[in-house]
Structure 1
Amino acid sequence: MLRACTLLLVAAACGGDPAASDAGPGDSQPEDAAVDAAIPSKLVAYVSGGTHIAWYDVDRATGALHPISTVVAVRGPASFLAHRGSTLYAVAESDNRVGAYAVAPATGALTFINDVAAGGTGPTHVSVDATGRHVFVANYSNGTVSVFPVQAGGGLGAAAQTLTPGANAHMIAPDPTNRSVFVPCLGANIVAQYRFEPTTGVLTPSTPASVATASGAGPRHIAFAPDGMFAYVINELDSTMSAFTLDPATGRLTSIQTLSTRAAGATGTNTTAEVVVHPTGKYLYGSNRGDNTVV
């Protein structure tokens, strides 16, 4: 299940930490992008697809993209991108690798650093913890997640830990406190819950180890309110969005409600893809593939 395209916006010449965005298996277009609150002199958009990662200058006034250059995605198509500081990370789903690229601060140009085995098969998501010292990868095909140490210069060491949260682990993401990590598992209809120790990079299953979604829901991605008190899971297979409270002290999710992502009377086949929380925390966005809508 290859990802066709991923879009990532990075604030160049700035020390901020923009977030990554994802287009899922079978997608043909990017679904989300986010940048930090800082306003640097240059904004660069990275797009993965095929065998290359391309980057574009973003016109802040119009939103227009102006091509700059491309780099060959080492070890196969890059299917998901994440950025932290001066390094971009990409997973290659077909080759089971995760790679690191240095980002030139002034221009945004990419230079390959290294890549390592993803710790499982079908890597579908990569993220970075708030310290920038640990990289997380979710491996969809064999339902595993791995933690990688970040070396001096941004390169990756071999996987330090690999766990099996559940079938079709689709995403792995730390919460705003950087003390809890969550893994939506599409095939198991659960969201796995872990406590995270930023000093050592070790994940430990929470109690309980997971929270269930509806049977057949297919939890895909998770996003957090800026204050870390709420989490939102978009369910790919039944086109719903689930809201949870999040206890920062324990890292436990508690279900609040689940709503459809589709308009009343919508017909035909649909699956969901991405979920994003507005920086104010007042709005939540989700995308529908099939209906071709954003809610």
Structure 2
Amino acid sequence: MGISLRFCLMVMGLLLVAEIPCRAASFVYLSLGGEKKIAIYRLNEQDGALTHVEDVPLAGAPGCLEVDPTKKYLFASVRSAKQFMSFAIDPENGKLKQISAVPAGGNAAYIATDKNGEYLFSAYYGEGKVAVHRLGKDGTISAEIVQTIPTDKNAHAILPDQANQFVFVPHTGPNAIYQFVWDAQNGTLKANDKPMLEAASGLEPRHLAVSKDNRFIYFDNEKGSSVTAYKLDSKSGTLTPFQTVSTLPAGFEGKNTCADIELSPSGKNLYASNRGHNSIACFSVDQKTGRLTTLEQEPTEDTPRSFNIDPTGTYLYAAGQRNGKLAAYQISPQTGKLKRLATYEVGKSPSWVEIVKFP
């Protein structure tokens, strides 16, 4: 009788455990250009600590990373090999399994999927162009390029708006933003009626972040060490600037260039990285007007080319490209300011940080 009772209790316990959902998992992916690999870390959602999982060696130096909307696949621009690669992500351990590797058509500085995850956009800094590749439902990248459009030198990023109707490409050299209309059904870009917006003198827009409500788009200005806020006309797909704010503290006279820019998931805060001042500039965002207010410049590692915010908006991780360190911060839910949690030695020349969270 005792054995039967123990057996029944054990079975009941197993059934209860089976009903408990799996704990959420988050992973950080780092492009280590100096070591030709992608490093994978597990993110502890309780305290922000990182644990190294493994490294994925590549044929060349990886740059920009992108995850599809379903979070099943990771895409990489392998710049020195002029390739695009795609990987399946294991949601349990974050490990990557290669799916495809295709010619990129050049040295792509930036990649992004459209909002449906059916196409891959790419911007080419040296070649001065943008391109479109088709994505398979299994995460494969088409070897054939769907479309290539010459723009101008120093095309630095490419990103669609939230409605998946328009695409924007900032150029640092020509100091301009190219504006495109996106045909999601045919997978083609077309120059907007106003194909190019010239930025104010000396700014040189580099990267961009789109507000959740699709009303505003923010560009960090590489040469101008500032962020410019633009209103997006949802009908025409064109931009109008209405505010430019410095990313530097008053009185700073050293050399500096901006690199990356991110909005918090809530949209209440915006962050931009300073290379030279070596800091993350923090701003609050007025939800009605889109205007920015400077909060602080938080010190970070040497030459913060890339950083990323976890999808919960709790942590921010910034990579020091020059010293091979990754700075981990907690984001204050009240103020949006950053608190340094830890610093990790990650490897040579980290150039991109990408965070994926699984439910």
TM-score tier, shorter chain, comes to: 0.7 to 0.9
Query: Which sections of structure 2, spanning at least 5 residues, go unmatched?
Result: 1-21, 282-359
| Partner in structure 2 of residue 192 of structure 1 | 178
> Offset at 1:40?
6.1
Which residue of 2 is the match for residue 66 of structure 1? 51
2:136 aligned to 151, 162, 167, which one? 151
Matched residues in 1 for 2:77 and 2:190: separation?
A: 24
- From 43, 47, 65, the equivalent of 1:81 is 65
The answer for the alignment partner of 2:31 in structure 1 is 48
Question: For 1:60 and 1:114, how far apart are their aligned partners in 2?
Answer: 31
**Structure 1 Cα separation of the partners of residues 277 and 66 of structure 2:** 27
Deviates further, 56-65 or 104-113: 104-113
TM-score, structure 2 length as denominator? 0.69
The partner residue of 1:233 within 204, 219, 229 is 219
- Kept in 2, the 8 Å contact 1:166–1:192? The answer is no
How far apart are the structure 1 equivalents of 2:182 and 2:214?
15
**How far apart are residue 276 of structure 1 and its match?**
1.2
Distance, in Å, in 2 between the alignment partners of 1:186 and 1:288 is 16
**Could you tell me whether the CA contact under 8 Å between 2:85 and 2:141 is conserved in 1?**
yes
Q: Tell me which residue corresponds to 1:255.
A: 241
Note the alpha carbon deviations across 1:208-237, whole angstroms, 9 max, x for none.
001111233221001111100001110101
In structure 1, the residue corresponding to 2:138 is in which secondary structure?
Answer: helix
Distance in 1 of aligned mates of 2:91 and 2:52: 17
**1:169: which partner in 2?**
155
How far is 1:259 from its partner?
Answer: 2.1
Is the Cα contact below 8 Å between 2:112 and 2:122 reproduced in 1?
A: yes
Structure 1 residues 216 and 95: CA distance shift in structure 2, 3 A: farther
Q: Which amino acid aligns with 1:110?
A: L
SS in 2 for 1:244: strand
Within the candidate set 202, 209, 222, 2:188 is matched to: 202
Gaps of 5+ in 1: 1-38
**Corresponding residue of 1:280:** 266
Please report the RMSD computed on the Cα atoms of aligned residues, expressed in angstroms: 1.4
Aligned residues of 2:118 and 2:137 also touching (Cα < 8 A): no
Give the aligned residue type for 2:186.
Answer: T
Task: Report the Cα offset of residue 252 of structure 1.
Answer: 0.6
Q: Does 1:127 align with 2:112?
A: yes
Cα distance in 2, alignment partners of residues 147 and 94 from structure 1: 20
Identify the structure with the greater strand proportion: 2
Alignment partners' CA distance in 2, 1:207 and 1:135 = 23
CA contact (8 A) 1:245 1:256 kept: yes
Q: Is the 8 A contact 2:85 2:101 kept in 1?
A: yes
CA contact (8 A) 1:242 1:258 kept: yes
Cα distance in 2 for partners of 1:282, 1:57 equals 26
8 Å CA contact retained: 1:170, 1:185: yes
TM-score (norm 1): 0.83
SS of 1:216's partner is coil
Richer in helix (by share): 2
1:58: Cα distance to partner?
Answer: 0.7
* Equivalent residue letter for 2:38: I
* CA shift for structure 1 position 181: 0.6
Q: 1:288 to 1:40 in 2, by over 3 A?
A: farther
Q: For residue 125 of structure 1, what is the amino acid of its counterpart?
A: Y
| C-alpha contact (below 8 Å) 2:25/2:91 kept by paired residues | no
Pair 1:267-2:253 in alignment: yes
2-side partners of 1:87 and 1:282: how far apart? 28
Percent of aligned pairs with the same amino acid: 35
Per-residue deviation, residues 244-269 of structure 1 (Å, max 9, x unmatched): 10012211101112222111000211
Partner-residue secondary structure (3-state), 2:145: coil
Query: What does residue 91 of structure 1 align with?
Result: 77
Q: How many residues are matched?
A: 255
SS in 1 for 2:141: coil
Give the letter for the 1:130 counterpart: K
Tell me the amino acid that sits aligned with residue 70 of structure 1: D
**Which has the higher Rg, Structure 1 or Structure 2?**
2
Q: Deviations over 1:34-84 (max 9, x none)?
A: xxxxx96111111110211111111111111101111112x3011110001
The structural deviation recorded for 1:238 is 1.9
Partner of 1:24: none
- For 1:137, the equivalent position in structure 2 comes to 122
